[in-house]
């Protein structure tokens, strides 16, 4: 199963990018032993449309095009479910057990996501009630993915 992060916007060079890549590589290394074949980032270009609804629609169409058939779609949204790391790891394990080809984590743009993407999502996940910059959400998501694979592999990184 592949893990894909489809994110609106580019992560520029710098500390956030370095940290994101460090967690991505760690997750890939540990995840291989669990049958996770990739941790890929798909950066979606920010729309230049003049209306927020048009920007949201254009970005959502580009995101939808990046989601493989039969993949699980998870939206990252401040109004989503707060989940302990162990439960998050359990969800990944369950989806892998269902023989899903991929899990796609979607980080939308500033104008949000189209209802069609919300309708096809299996889970909406939040990292608390605070509003986070999209760059930080990507780093925190990659850290949680790394933590999840270490939990599933019995690695001591996660200490509850």
Q: Is 65 within the bounds of a domain?
A: yes
User: Domain for residue 92, yes or no?
Assistant: yes
Q: Which domain holds residue 73?
A: 2-153
Main-chain dihedrals φ then ψ at residue 50, nearest 5 degrees = -85, -15
Is there a domain that residue 159 lies in? no
Q: In sequence order, which residues have a C-beta less than 8 Å from that of residue 59 and are 6 or more positions away?
A: 8, 44, 46, 47, 108, 109, 111, 113
pLDDT at 58: 96
Question: What is the tally of structural domains in the chain?
Answer: 1
In order along its 160 residues, the chain shows pLDDT tens digits of 999 999 999 999 999 999 999 999 999 999 999 999 999 999 999 999 999 999 999 999 999 999 999 999 999 998 899 999 999 999 999 999 999 999 999 999 999 999 999 999 999 999 998 888 889 999 999 999 999 999 999 988 877 6
d(CA 112, CA 3): 22
Q: What is the CATH number of the domain that holds 75?
A: 3.40.1280.10
> Phi/psi class of residue 105: alpha, beta or left (left: φ > 0; alpha: ψ in -120 to 50)?
beta
CA-based radius of gyration for the chain: 15
- Phi, psi (5° rounding) for residue 38? -170, 150
């Amino acid at each position: 199963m592949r893990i894909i992060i489809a994110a609106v916007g580019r992560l520029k060079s710098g500390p956030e990018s370095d940290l994101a890549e460090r967690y991505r590589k760690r997750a890939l290394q540990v995840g291989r032993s669990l049958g996770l074949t990739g941790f890929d980032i798909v950066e979606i270009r920010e729309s230049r449309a003049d209306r927020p609804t048009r920007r949201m629609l254009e970005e959502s169409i580009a995101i939808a095009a990046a989601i493989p058939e039969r993949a699980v779609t998870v939206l990252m949204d401040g109004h989503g479910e707060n989940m302990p790391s162990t439960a998050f790891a359990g969800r990944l394990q369950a989806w892998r057990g269902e023989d899903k080809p991929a899990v796609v984590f979607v980080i939308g743009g500033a104008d949000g996501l189209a209802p069609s993407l919300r309708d096809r999502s299996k889970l909406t996940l939040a990292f608390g009630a605070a509003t986070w910059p999209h760059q930080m959400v990507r780093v925190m998501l990659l850290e949680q993915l790394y933590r999840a694979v270490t939990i599933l592999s019995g690695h001591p990184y996660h200490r509850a």
